Each structure stands twice: as structure tokens, then as C-alpha cells.
């Protein structure tokens, strides 16, 4: 059975936290801590402008001698993004994450953001699918089917 991104969003929910590119990095860091998340979509005028992740912060603030209270999200966000659609499979998403070295992928449908998939979501679904398969195989072997 192929697991779709739509299925993942139905299980985890499609709440997406976002900031504006003009917001200060410090505000984004507070959201990371308050919501226990590692990425925020950057939305300007209702459109996706980029993504800001803990990795962006870790690699760009100190290395560029910046301060999180004086630096905008737009200065540090990743502008190149890779997307999945609700109809894509978890394997497609995993391939994008692996190939592009990203841990968060926005879900787009008809030009609008409808969710965000993290590497944790992918791992959780993969483990769940494997556990289901193992349980079915055990039933088959023991003759309980």
C-alpha cells in the first residue's frame, strides 16, 4: 500500500506555522521553542517566499556575525524550496528530502500551502507501515487470516 502525503496530513494535521520575511529572527526562534518545531514557512502577502529552519539559524547567524534581534528572517531564510502535492507518495517525499538534503517540505495544492512535512513525519509513517506489514505477515504465518 502506498502512503500518500494526504494521508500523512490527515494523521498529523495540516497546521502550518509561518512568519514574514520582515520579522526578526528572534521572533521566529520564540515560535520554534513555543511550538516545539524546527521550521517555519515564510509567507509574504499570502504567498510562500521561503522557509526558515533551525539549520538556517545555526549556520547563518554566527557565521555571518549577526544578532537574532537585529536580523530579519528574510536575510537568513532558504529561498530555494522543494514541494510535494497531497497526491504524492511518502517515498517521493523521502526521495526529495534525501536528494536535496532538506528536512522539511511544503505541501502545495493549486498554488496554495496546505501543509508541511518533516523528516520526522516521514520516519513515523514508514515505521507505522512496516509494523502493519509485520503484523499481517505474522497473522499469515500463524494461520490467523
> The domain that contains 92 carries what CATH number?
3.10.580.10
> How confident is the prediction for the chain on average, in pLDDT?
92
Residue 130 has pLDDT above 80, yes or no: no
Residue 145 has pLDDT above 70, yes or no: no
Structural domain containing residue 26: 5-142
Residue 1 has pLDDT above 70, yes or no: no
Distance (Å, rounded) from C-alpha 7 to C-alpha 76?
A: 32
Distance (Å, rounded) from C-alpha 134 to C-alpha 18?
A: 38
Distance (Å, rounded) from C-alpha 121 to C-alpha 11?
A: 10
- Distances in Å between the alpha carbon of 144 and those of 1, 13, 16, 128, 140? 21, 34, 42, 21, 6
Average pLDDT over residues 71-75: 96
Number of domains making up the chain: 1
pTM over 0.75: yes
Amino acid at each position: 500500500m502506498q502512503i500518500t502525503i494526504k494521508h500523512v496530513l490527515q494523521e498529523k494535521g495540516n497546521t502550518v506555522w509561518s512568519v514574514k520575511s520582515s520579522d526578526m529572527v528572534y521572533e521566529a526562534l520564540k515560535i520554534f521553542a513555543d511550538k516545539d518545531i524546527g521550521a517555519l514557512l515564510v509567507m509574504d502577502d499570502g504567498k510562500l517566499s521561503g522557509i526558515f529552519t533551525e539549520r538556517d539559524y545555526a549556520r547563518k547567524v554566527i557565521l555571518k556575525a549577526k544578532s537574532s534581534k537585529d536580523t530579519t528572517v528574510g536575510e537568513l531564510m532558504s529561498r530555494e524550496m522543494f514541494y510535494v502535492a497531497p497526491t504524492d507518495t511518502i517515498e517521493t517525499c523521502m526521495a526529495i528530502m534525501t536528494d536535496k538534503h532538506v528536512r522539511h517540505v511544503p505541501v502545495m495544492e493549486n498554488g496554495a500551502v496546505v501543509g508541511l512535512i518533516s523528516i520526522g513525519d516521514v520516519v513515523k509513517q514508514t515505521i507505522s507501515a512496516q509494523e502493519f506489514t509485520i503484523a499481517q505477515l505474522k497473522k499469515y504465518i500463524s494461520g490467523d487470516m
